[in-house]
Amino acid sequence: MPASIKPEDINPQSPMKTDQSRPLNRRAFIGQSTVGALGVAWKSIPARGQSSPSIRPLNRFPRMVQEYFVDRVRALDKARTDRIYRLSTRQEAQAYITEVRQKIRTAFGPFPKRTPLNPRVTRTIKRTSYRIENIIFESRPGFPVTANLYIPNRQNGQHRRFPGVIGTCGHSRNGKAESAYQSFAQGLAKQGYMVLIYDPIGQGERLQYPNDLFQSRIGVGVGEHLYAGNQQFLVGEFIGTWRAWDGIRALDYLLSRDELDAKHLGITGNSGGGTMTTWLAGLDQRYTMAAPSCFVTSFRRNLENELPADTEQCPPRALALGLDHEDFLVALAPNPVKILAKERDYFDVRGSETALNRLKHIYRLLGAESKITLFTGPTRHGYSRENREAMYQWFNQATELSENGTEPPIELETDATLQCSAKGQVAQMGAIPIHHFTRARSVQLKIDRPSLKGNALKDAIDKTLQLNPQSESLRFRILRRRGKRSFPRPHFTTYAIETEPGIHAIAYLLGNEAHDSRPKKGSQHATLYISDISSDQELRHDDEIRSFATSNSDPFYACDVRGSGESQPDTCGENSFLAPYGSDYFYAIHAIMLDDPYPGQKTRDVIQVLRWLNRQGHTAIHLIAQGRGCIPASIAALYSPSVQRVTLKGALTSFQSIAESEDYTWPLSSFIPGVLKYYDLPDIYDSIRSTRELSLI
């Protein structure tokens, strides 16, 4: 939070601006589209789990985007692997560790200042060999964390201190009270460990979007993580940093306890908790041992296997910086780390084995090869007993408490017993939800942001979108016709224009006579339409777009940029394109890890298609776009002198309207990370108006 904004300025009860759309269905937050303050609603996109034949376009390039990303990530993975195996001395290994730690901090960005934790114990539960304290502390002012602290009983008046473990939860509805997570916390406590296990944001007692019954309106866990995290990118925040800060402050609290032996500090968790165990190992070198379960594989394997991950599992720029999962464990070297995997997990165990081999090479150079290992359980995803016992044995070996890893008998507590807040949700205590912090950040950025025009605006766009120079070749194919059409002109020709290696933008040229060859020369004027979802579908069913195609005799081109229309991906689940975990999100989040935002990639496509039109003799272009196509089209117009007129239908009014909304419906694929530090869409619209005609429908 900016220093000039105080917690009391963020009123959880105050009304928040929305993006001024039609009534919202939060569960379908990426499964709908909307307009901003322009007030014109347009085509509804199905909610998660639904499908509609009206948006299933003709698709001749369903694997194009997937293979493009796979090729890029494989190249990065090979370069990184080659570099690791070139390390040949202890000094080189130590230098690599130092470099990795710096890169991890770069990806996660700066942390806030440490503020008072204001901890309080709300209840103590006494058991035969340990007690549980239900605790609430504030990781940030007004942002409470609910946690259970398991403390072994001292025997015979002894005053010995106990090794400590931070427990991080996976995507359980009830967070810290989930049976497997209770089990490992209780199992450790019975073996002599202090264990602090806390609820993640959006789970357990920490719902950020509660309804009147204090149940999540978005969806516990994944739903709230994506909804809050995607929005945060606009203001330059990363929900993984927020999640990690909760863990860092949890360790701060544990270290404040007199019962703790600070010489032995472990961290463990499963699935989403395995993620946070891995990230915290890389971010906080106070830990002396770690055991992440059911997460560590590789970014490459997850991408190749079409496995979406939560926003917090995809650190910004991680791939561009050359990071992978095991680098976060390298950062803890040479301390003991055991990777816990599963043979039948969707987190590919092949990646776990590769991670182990690369880690062993570095640990070997440090003279600590025995301190890195992998255990693979035989069952499916989850912190099952065999994985918990592998963790117990590892921690017992590191602390020399015992050589035994057998889990003691577990007696599960009820959710109510482990509840820290009076009514079961911190929202009922007046906690500040995460989206209010995002709004406050957006407000401050607008105050601080200079008004940019001309080249200064272009420089800012280049900074955020990586609009690198493209190939000069502009090769194109002329595709055979497919299927019956009801286009507004009797004939059409389909062109696949190579905008960069491996990527084609698809353009339909509509005409009044049959034409199966390259575009005819001779017409200076032309119209180019950039689709929202699919040119094929919109030209058939959208009367307004059809009217544009027949309003004059100029050549009319309709274009699908990458990831839409004829290249709409068919990955990540059947009919799931715009679902929260669907392929549209999948490539948008990978683009952020590549430091090559998806809107920038789509903008490059539009710029290249405009250049291709120029080569066909069209030097006076009316550029039309709808919905999600408006962002790349409007930015491309700034870079294309041949664009003389711009018409945007259903354009987003501003990114600020989303950043300051509790409800929003635009997808991550339209978001530019950190954009509100530098500019907003009105700056782009004003810049277009300064030199040509702009119409907002």
Name residues whose C-beta falls within 8 Å of residue 590's C-beta, 6 or more positions apart in sequence. 69, 73, 303, 314, 319
What is the pLDDT at residue 482?
Answer: 79
Per DSSP, 423 falls in state S
What φ, ψ does residue 525 adopt, rounded to 5°? -90, 145
What is the pLDDT at residue 513?
Answer: 84
pLDDT bucket at 1, cuts 50 / 70 / 90: very low
Examine the pLDDT at 7 and tell me if it is beyond 50.
no
Identify the residue with better confidence: 51 or 119: 119
Separation of alpha carbons 368 and 391, rounded Å: 19
**Cα atoms found within 13 Å of the Cα of residue 229, Cβ hemisphere only:** 27
Examine the pLDDT at 392 and tell me if it is beyond 80.
yes
| Site of tokens 């993640």 | 200
Which contacts qualify for 155-160: CB closer than 8 Å, 24 or more apart? 160/261
Mean predicted confidence (pLDDT) in 212-222: 93
Identify the residue with better confidence: 139 or 38: 139
Q: 29-56+482-696: what fold?
A: Rossmann fold (3.40.50)
Examine the pLDDT at 308 and tell me if it is beyond 50.
yes
Question: pLDDT tens across 264-285, in order?
Answer: 999 999 999 999 999 999 999 9
Query: How far lies 367's CA from each of 89, 93, 102, 320, in Å?
Result: 10, 11, 23, 30
What is the pLDDT at residue 169?
Answer: 97
pLDDT bucket at 201, cuts 50 / 70 / 90: very high
pLDDT bucket at 469, cuts 50 / 70 / 90: low
Examine the pLDDT at 33 and tell me if it is beyond 50.
no
Question: pLDDT tens across 319-357, in order?
Answer: 999 999 999 999 999 999 999 999 999 999 999 999 999
What is the pLDDT at residue 470?
Answer: 62
Same fold, 29-56+482-696 and 82-432: yes
Examine the pLDDT at 618 and tell me if it is beyond 60.
yes
Question: pLDDT tens across 505-521, in order?
Answer: 999 999 888 888 898 88
What is the pLDDT at residue 471?
Answer: 62
Domain boundaries, the chain: 29-56+482-696, 82-432
* Tokens at 646, concatenated: 């711009």
Rg from Cα positions in the chain: 27
| Buried/exposed code over 533-560 (b: 16+ C-beta within 10 A; e: otherwise) | bbbbbbbbebeebbebbeeeeebbbbbb
Name residues whose C-beta falls within 8 Å of residue 282's C-beta, 6 or more positions apart in sequence. 100, 101, 104, 327, 328, 329, 330, 331, 332
Strands 693-696 and 620-626 turn out to be unpaired
Question: pLDDT tens across 434-465, in order?
Answer: 999 999 999 999 999 999 999 999 999 999 99
Note the maximum CA span of the chain: 97
Mean pLDDT of the chain: 90
What is the pLDDT at residue 56?
Answer: 55
Per DSSP, 101 falls in state H
pTM: 0.92
CB 613 within 8 A of CB 621: yes
What CATH class has 82-432? alpha beta
Separation of alpha carbons 587 and 213, rounded Å: 35
CB 247 within 8 A of CB 273: no
Q: The dihedral of CA 26, 671, 695, 508: what is its sign?
A: negative
What is the pLDDT at residue 487?
Answer: 85
DSSP of 490-550: SEEEEEEEEEETTEEEEEEEEESS---SSPPS--SEEEEEE-SS-HHHHHHH-HHHHHHHH
Q: In terms of Cα–Cα distance, which of 469, 474, 468 is closest to 615?
A: 474
Examine the pLDDT at 111 and tell me if it is beyond 50.
yes
Examine the pLDDT at 92 and tell me if it is beyond 50.
yes
Neighbours of 2 (CB within 10 A): 12
